[in-house]
Structures are given as C-alpha cells and as structure tokens.
Amino acid sequence: MTTEVRPRPSRALRHTGTTVADYRRNFSRRARLSDLLVMALWTSGATAAALFLASGGIDQFTSVAETVTSIGIVAGLVGTDFILVMLVLAARISIIDRTIGHDRAIAVHRSLGKPALYLLLAHGLLLLVGYGLSSGINPIAEIGPMLALPDMPLAVIGLGLLIVVVVTSIMAVRRRFSYEGWHLVHVLSYVAVAFALPHQLSVGGILSEGSGQRVYWIALYVLALGGIVTFRFVEPLVSSLRHRVRVAAVTEIAPGVTTIQFDGHALRGLGASGGQFFIWRFWAPHTWWHSHPISLSAMPTDNSARVTIRDLGKGSAQLSTVPVGTRVSIEGPYGLFSTTARTSGKLTIIAAGIGVTPVRALLEHATFAPGEATILLRASTPEETYHWDEIKAIAAAKGATCLVMVGHRPRGIDTWMSEADAARGVTLTSAFPDITDSDVYLCGPSTWLDLVEADVRATGIRPHQIHTERFDW
C-alpha cells in the first residue's frame, strides 16, 4: 500500500455547505421514515387478517371445517398482501429508494418471496380440506367443485405462475438462467397478480360487493399497480423525453472496460448525487430489449454524463459496441450509495476493480474539509487501475488522502488486502485511523466486499455509517 495523494495543509479551505448537524438530521429523518415503512409492512399484513375478522369474527371458528377454511382464507389474504408489498418494493418508488435504498428494498422484496408463496399454497390446500370437510368429501374430490366456482381456474393458473416466478428466483436455480431469461419469467408475476384478483372478489364473502373490505382491497391493488405504472413506466418516459439522452462517445479505456459518454439536456435537473446509478436502455438493434443498472462514473454536467462498464455478461459486452447517436432511455437516479446517506463529517472510501466507478463520482460530489477524506483504491493487477488518475486528481484538488494497494489476495487467508500488505501487517485502523468517526463507503465484487465489510464492522463502527455497493447482479 502506498500513499499517492496527501492533502496539503497550507491550502486548508474552510468548507461550507452541509454540516455534520445536517447529516445527523437527515439521518434521523430517514431512520424515522424507514421505521414507518417497516410498520406499514407488518400492519398491512395484520390488516389483511383483520379484514377477515371484521367480516364475521370468531364465529367462523366454531367447527373444524370452518376453522380450516377460515385459516385458509386468512393465509390467502396475508399472502396476497405480501405479494402486493413486494410489488411496491420493486416499483422503485422514489421515497422508498431515498429512505432505505434500492438494495435494501430488493433484499426485503426477496425475503418476502418464499413466505408469500407458502401462504398462498397453504391457502389453496386448506380451502380444499376445509370445503371438503364441510361437504363430507376428501380434499382431492373437492378439486372438481372448487374449479367449478367462477374465476377459480384463472386463480389456479395465477398460483402456478407464481410458483414458477419464485422457484426461478431461488439463488441456486437463478444462477442457471441469464439475467434476461430470469427477468422475462419474473414479469409473469404481474399476470399472476392480475389472474388472482377476480376469485378474491367473487368466491369468498369477505370482499363481497358493497363491503368496506372490498374498497380497502381494491385500493391496495390500485396503490401497488399504480406505483409500478407511475415509477417504472410514466416517470422514466417523461424523464427520457425531457433529457433526450444519446450516446456521444464509446471509449475502451482498458481491455474489457469501456466508458460511455452521453449527450443530453438539462442533466443536472436529474438531481443525481455522486455514487447513484441509473437504469439505462440503449435503443439499438441488439440492446433495446434489456436495461442495465449502471452507476455514473462522473457527476453529470448540464449536457453530458458518463458511465464506465466492464464486460460482466453478454449484455454489458454488447454495450461496448453500441453506436454513437443511439437514443437512451433512463430511469433514476437510484440508490443510497451516495452523499445523501452521509452521517458523519469524515469520509472513508475503499473500492476495488470496476467498483471505483461510483466512488469516482462520490468523491467528486462529496463535501469534506481538506484532510477529512481518505480513499483506498484496490486492484489485483496494475492493468485494473481504471480511472485511478482521475480519482487522484480529484483527491489532490479537494484535499483528500489517496492510498493505493495493488496485488492479488493471498491464498488460504481471508483478507481483502494484497498478499504483500497482509504480510506486512497492514490493518484497517493503521490505514484509516479515523475510521470510526467517518462514513465508510465500500464498493467492489461481492466476495471481496464481504471481507472488507466484516473487517470494518469489527472496528465497532455503528452500522448506519457503513455504505456498500456490490458489483454483481
């Protein structure tokens, strides 16, 4: 590890703008909102169960058959509520993104997938058993009458689609698919949700016409689907039309690493903060059908923006050959790996490989007093030092310390450092003496990042001071 840039003490400028008090205020506001979101999630589940209680209370648990049926109905209501919550979490709604960040929203979305599916499967099975018990026939024989109910065949197809969507999203299974294939299957969940609605309104009595329950339920659907339509279709469309982004230049800066420069209109109006990403769709013959989440690698000016990509899959390889002049539609900015998430005055940044790209924009955008930011750039080989010269220049101009560490990780030892530095006994606290007083931004490949993050947590730093961005899908 070597120190490449050291802040010059004589040039110490009094830094104006955002203060630590502002960071604290912003953070507690986000924490409050985040708690409210958690409460909304659980309360919506409880409300789904309450809808059932409100329609007939404890009376619906008097016989075995009724009890089984009632539990089945509650499972269906709560399961569907979870599915709608999942849609909301995946809708990239700006307030959710600003509060908990896209990554965490998607993590919660994922964690709800299996519980929701289990609840809905239980719903189907319990109702077969419950209806069967009350008619005095076995659950298998009940399948016929069940399917004879209006809207039931549609609901069964919906459940089938949901099983496919959840199973293809289980990590082990998902790895066998390309991102594109997986995404195509995932879109089926909209169909599943739509197919399930008619039977909810017609088969059971809970959501019957004229009931308050029906009004609430339809409002939930409108909220979830409205969120998707607004934030995934309307807003990106409006933003793309307004900012008229086009590819201006494509430059290979290292083998397999390309910068794409964009032209556009009023790009500062996007309100991106350093470290955030957009979802880009390139309207060229081979790339139009697939969108890419890519971080800005520099702060946008009014009429230009830039990203840097590395060939990680077939999709991103095709981007390096996208013709100049290609129209680009954009969704964003997204993510909390940005200056908006600051909680402390000092700044620690550790980035590896292509993970330097958001960090480059972050350092450019961040406010800090000279000497209060330290950035460590990490690469396995000297060829992977993308944008390091730019970052060093920014560090020099803003008075940040820039450390670099080049070399492979040692075999058999769990460390994020290079073999030489690990052997020399370099530690996180020797490199960053002020780490516990600072915001720590970590960006790089997952396995490496897990190691750094564990190391950072071991310093006893408070979890909200750690900000991570993993570079893999």
Partner 1 sequence: MRTRAILGSILASASVLIVGYQAGTTVTMANGISVTESSTSAGSTSGTTASGPADGTYTGSSVNTRYGAVQIQVTIASGSISEVAALHLTNADGRSVQISNHAAPILRSEVLGSQSARVSNVGGATYTTQAYLASVQSALDQAGA
Using rule CB under 8 A, residue 180 touches partner 1: no
> Which residues in 150-187 are b (16+ Cβ under 10 Å) and which e?
ebbeebbebbebbeebbebbeeeebeeeebeebeebbe
- Which residue of 160, 181, 205, 269 would you call a contact of partner 1, by CB under 8 A? 205
Which range, of 36-44, 219-227, 310-318, 438-446, touches partner 1 by CB under 8 A? 36-44
Residue 122 dihedral angles phi and psi, to the nearest 5°:
-60, -40
Minimum CB distance to partner 1, residue 100 (Å): 11
- The total number of residues written for the chain in this structure: 473
Please give the residues from 387 up to 406 whose contact with partner 1 meets the rule CB under 8 A: none
Interface residue with partner 1 among 19, 22, 28, 56 (CB under 8 A) is 56
Out of 1, 7, 55, 281, which residue is the one contacting partner 1 (CB under 8 A)?
55
- Work out whether 136 is an interface residue with partner 1 (CB under 8 A): yes
Q: Which of 20, 38, 266, 454 binds partner 1 (CB under 8 A)?
A: 38
> Do the strands 245-254 and 438-444 form a parallel or antiparallel pair, or are they unpaired?
unpaired
Q: Which residues contact 166 (CB under 8 A, 6 or more apart)?
A: 113, 114, 116, 117
Q: Which of 21, 58, 140, 187 binds partner 1 (CB under 8 A)?
A: 58
Options 199-207, 303-311, 373-381, 449-457: segment touching partner 1 (CB under 8 A): 199-207
Q: Does 115 bind partner 1 (CB under 8 A)?
A: no
Specify the residue, 73 or 375, whose C-beta has the smaller distance to partner 1.
Answer: 73
Residue located via tokens 């919906």: 158
Alpha-carbon gap, residue 92 to 231, rounded angstroms: 6
Is the CB of 147 or the CB of 458 nearer to partner 1?
Answer: 147
**Is residue 51 close enough to count as binding partner 1 by CB under 8 A?**
yes
**Residue 139 near partner 1 by CB under 8 A:** no
The residue within the footprint of partner 1, chosen from 30, 47, 75, 439 (CB under 8 A), is: 47
Burial category of 192 from C-beta neighbours within 10 Å (exposed 0-12, middle 13-18, buried 19 and up): buried
Contact flag: residue 141 with partner 1 (CB under 8 A) = no
Interface pick for partner 1 out of 4, 15, 139, 145 (rule CB under 8 A): 145
CB–CB of 422/415 below 8 Å? yes
In this complex, which beta carbon is closest to partner 1, that of residue 34 or of residue 385? Answer: 34
**Closer CB to partner 1, 9 or 136, in the complex:** 136
Total of residues contacting partner 1 (CB under 8 A): 40
Here's the x/- map for partner 1, 283-312, by CB under 8 A: it reads as ------------------------------
Rounded to a whole number of angstroms, the minimum distance from the CB of residue 144 to partner 1 is 11
Q: 321-324 long-range contacts, Cβ below 8 Å, gap at least 24?
A: 321/250, 322/247, 322/250, 322/260, 322/282, 322/284, 322/287, 323/247, 323/284, 324/247, 324/248, 324/249, 324/250
User: What torsion do the CA atoms of 286, 291, 292, 296 make, to the nearest 10 degrees?
Assistant: 110
For partner 1, the closer CB: 133 or 435: 133
* Residue 473 contacts residue 179 (beta carbons within 8 Å): yes
Q: Is 151 in the site for partner 1 (CB under 8 A)?
A: yes
CA distance 103 to 109: 10
Strands across the sheet containing 2-5? 2-5, 401-406, 373-379, 346-352, 438-444, 466-470
- What sign does the dihedral 71-37-358-245 (CA atoms) show? positive
Give yes or no for residue 46 binding partner 1 (CB under 8 A). yes
Q: Is 135 in the site for partner 1 (CB under 8 A)?
A: yes
**Shortest reach from residue 369's CB to partner 1, in Å:** 31
Q: Is 453 in the site for partner 1 (CB under 8 A)?
A: no
Q: How far apart (Å, rounded) are the C-alpha atoms in residues 36 and 91?
A: 18
The residue among 94 and 202 lying less far from partner 1, judged by its C-beta, is 202
Asked if 79 interacts with partner 1 (CB under 8 A), we say: no
The tokens of 17 are what? 């703008």
8 A C-beta contact, residue 461 and residue 435: yes
Q: What DSSP element (H or E) covers 246?
A: strand 245-254
138 binds partner 1 (CB under 8 A): no
Choosing from 150, 181, 285, 433, the residue that interacts with partner 1 (CB under 8 A) is 150
Is the distance from CB of 266 to CB of 279 less than 8 angstroms? no
Q: Does 164 bind partner 1 (CB under 8 A)?
A: no
Residue 41 engages partner 1 in binding (rule: CB under 8 A): yes
For partner 1, which is the closer residue by CB, 65 or 284? 65
Q: Which secondary structure element, helix H or strand E, spans residue 29, and what is its range?
A: helix 20-54
Please check whether residue 97 is in contact with residue 109, taking contact to mean a CB–CB distance below 8 angstroms: no
39 binds partner 1 (CB under 8 A): yes
* Paired tokens of 244: 């008229």
In the complex, the residues that contact partner 1 under the rule CB under 8 A are: 31, 34-36, 38-39, 41-43, 45-47, 49-59, 65, 131, 134-136, 145, 148-152, 199, 202-205, 208
